[in-house]
Amino acid sequence: MPDFDVVIVGSGPGGATTADVLTAAGKSVCVLEKGRNHLLALEPPFESLGRLSNDEIKFNRRHFLGPDPLLEPRTYRRAVADGDRIFTGDVNNMPSTVGGAGYHADGKLPRYREIDFRLAGELGPVDGAEVADWPVDYDEIEPYYAEAERAIGVAGDHTGNPFAAWRSGRYPMPPGADMFLTTLTGPAAETLGYHPYRAPTGANSVPYDGRPACNNCGFCAFYGCPIEAKGDPVALLRRALRTGNCEIRPESIALEILVDSTGKQSRGVRYLDADGTQHEVTSNAAVVACGAFETPRLLLRSGIGNSSDLVGRYLMFHLQTIVLGYFPFRLHAYKGRDVTHLMDDPIVGDAASAAAAKTAGVPYLRGGIVEHGGSGHPIGEALYTPPGQQHSARMAASDRRDRMVGFTMQGEDLPQATNRVDLDPAVRDVWGLPAGRITYTSHEHDVACAHHWGPRLEEVLRQAGAHTTSWLTSPGTPGTRVPGLQPISRHWMGTARMGDDPRRSVCDPWQRLWDVDNVVVTDSSVFPTSTGYGPTLTLVALAVRAARALAGIEPLTSDRANAI
């Protein structure tokens, strides 16, 4: 008799959603999480631990929610020609804690559009990339999107985005308050022919699910919410704990997924606890939800799932175009939920982007959502100018905080087999495990797209009143201000792609490993393409679908004929 029905590795949005669905269906679940627990009492009545504060040093410098890059280094190179690595340390690190990175995210949660699931079929191949259709389409995933929005608690306006896909119902809450800066950037974008809309966000605009409304404190991205107004994974984990079917084990790093002698069935997970003692937890099925960097690392370490040689390949990050505008007056851009407006125009494209694609020699340019975002906080601002008289004057004027607007375009990056996570041959982490190594170079499509949209988005900021503008990309690209900048998007996708063909994918359409019957991956590793939208709502919707299938519950359905 195994210890649990299911053991889940990772407690971020993917793992937390899976735990929520499985425990509600009466399954017993053990969640292993390598990070510490600062958030949630693990005994009834599962109160908050209250260890959060709006403290830049604690979160950004002292790795309060982990991981410390000295203890858990990642390595990086652009291509094999760079040698084993060119950098060791923090490479687009995701937080590591009970609740995962979802806890830090400020939670813009748009759905993908119909075409995002069938890019290869609709737009054809692109040289140097392996663009693939998803094994699930929008109509099938729509009810899971609706369920994900209900479970997380998403506030939004279903009439706002003229390019949005059809919906079976409204958002669970109306949109929250607009940031002041969008009263300038929104009309400016409209004047230039773009279509800004209120971002669907996972922050309560009204009390919801026993949690209060957001007070727009401004410390949303990179911080947890001190009042639990964010619909982050903690709410899902608390719900799972309340069923009495869930046990969460923090500071427990999974070393290996265990398989039986046939290699086709998992029998549990071997892990190390905080004291360095090894344990085995046995189960009928294992769920891997470590995020799209740690998931392939765990699969490769376990030696499973890789008969296609695709585990870790097709790594995608989003090529971000970051456009900054400096204004002659104060905007209080550090207040609010960090981003309250989006626009999809660079994803949809227009005559100018089609012409730019032709010039670049690629069949199309697909950018990403443009986030109308705020600025940083005082310590981040202080680090720009060395101490001295000029420093004090600059801090008083607050050009980089109170008078600055930042747009971020989450540019679609095309999947390439050479972009990958594998195990570094020499560097090890604090547990003695091989560090994950990232090999990544942007495709020419992604670079052309960023270079097309950077100047166009500068124009929007000038139209809004900025006296100075500039733009850069993450990762850096030739000809930009910081060409060597490493990726900082915090969006990880693609490293255990799902598909219909075991030779061309790691997971089947229900996110099970083709090679091991009872191992399911419920994070954005399974995405065949990156699209230009944040990955979290879609990975949660897919996790609901995969977890229901694992629990043997009927699929959800909705009917396009009843679209609102």
Give the nearest distance from C-beta 465 to ligand SF4 in angstroms. Answer: 25
328 prior amide bond cis, ω within 30: no
Sign of CA dihedral 532, 366, 489, 400: negative
* Binding at 461: pick from ligand FAD, ligand SF4, none (beta carbon under 5-8 Å per type): none
Is residue 300 close enough to count as binding ligand SF4 by CB under 6 A?
Answer: no
Amino acid at 237: L
> Which one, 54 or 282, has the nearer CB to ligand SF4?
54
Is residue 159 close enough to count as binding ligand SF4 by CB under 6 A?
Answer: no
Give the nearest distance from C-beta 525 to ligand FAD in angstroms. Answer: 8
Is residue 557 close enough to count as binding ligand SF4 by CB under 6 A?
Answer: no
- How many residues are recorded in the chain? 564
Residue 402's closest CA among 410, 390, 394? 394
**Which of the stretches 141-149, 223-231, 298-306, 471-479 binds ligand SF4 when contact is defined by CB under 6 A?**
223-231
Residue 284's closest CA among 554, 16, 33, 29? 29
> Which one, 218 or 327, has the nearer CB to ligand FAD?
218
Tokens of 469: 């503008």
Is residue 24 close enough to count as binding ligand SF4 by CB under 6 A?
Answer: no
* Binding at 27: pick from ligand SF4, ligand FAD, none (beta carbon under 5-8 Å per type): none
The packing angle between helices 351-360 and 444-463, to 10°, is 140
Residue 109's closest CA among 16, 195, 13, 249? 13
Under rule CB under 6 A, which residues in 316-375 are in contact with ligand SF4? 337
Is residue 152 close enough to count as binding ligand SF4 by CB under 6 A?
Answer: no
Under rule CB under 6 A, which residues in 224-243 are in contact with ligand SF4? 225, 227, 229-230
User: Of 7, 19, 132, 220, which one interacts with ligand SF4 (CB under 6 A)?
Assistant: 220
* Binding at 220: pick from ligand SF4, ligand FAD, none (beta carbon under 5-8 Å per type): ligand SF4
Is residue 550 close enough to count as binding ligand SF4 by CB under 6 A?
Answer: no
Give the nearest distance from C-beta 281 to ligand FAD in angstroms. Answer: 12
Pairing of strands 319-326, 278-288: unpaired
d(CA 547, CA 164): 27
Q: Are 304 and 257 in contact (CB under 8 A)?
A: yes
Tokens of 129: 């990339």
Residue 44: CB atoms within 10 A of its CB come to 9
The packing angle between helices 138-152 and 233-242, to 10°, is 80
Is residue 177 close enough to count as binding ligand SF4 by CB under 6 A?
Answer: no
Give the nearest distance from C-beta 128 to ligand SF4 in angstroms. Answer: 40
Pairing of strands 29-32, 319-326: unpaired
Residues 6 or more apart whose CB falls under 8 angstroms from that of 122 comprise 115
* Binding at 222: pick from ligand SF4, ligand FAD, none (beta carbon under 5-8 Å per type): ligand FAD
* Binding at 458: pick from ligand FAD, ligand SF4, none (beta carbon under 5-8 Å per type): none
Give the nearest distance from C-beta 106 to ligand SF4 in angstroms. Answer: 6
Binding site for ligand FAD (CB under 6 A): 9-15, 32-35, 94-97, 100-102, 104-108, 221-222, 253-254, 289-291, 294, 298, 490-491, 523-524, 534-536, 539
Residue 208: half-sphere exposure toward Cβ, Cα within 13 Å: 25
> Which one, 220 or 448, has the nearer CB to ligand FAD?
220
Tokens of 355: 């012409």
Sign of CA dihedral 306, 140, 528, 253: negative
Residues that bind ligand SF4 (CB under 6 A): 203, 214-217, 219-220, 225, 227, 229-230, 337
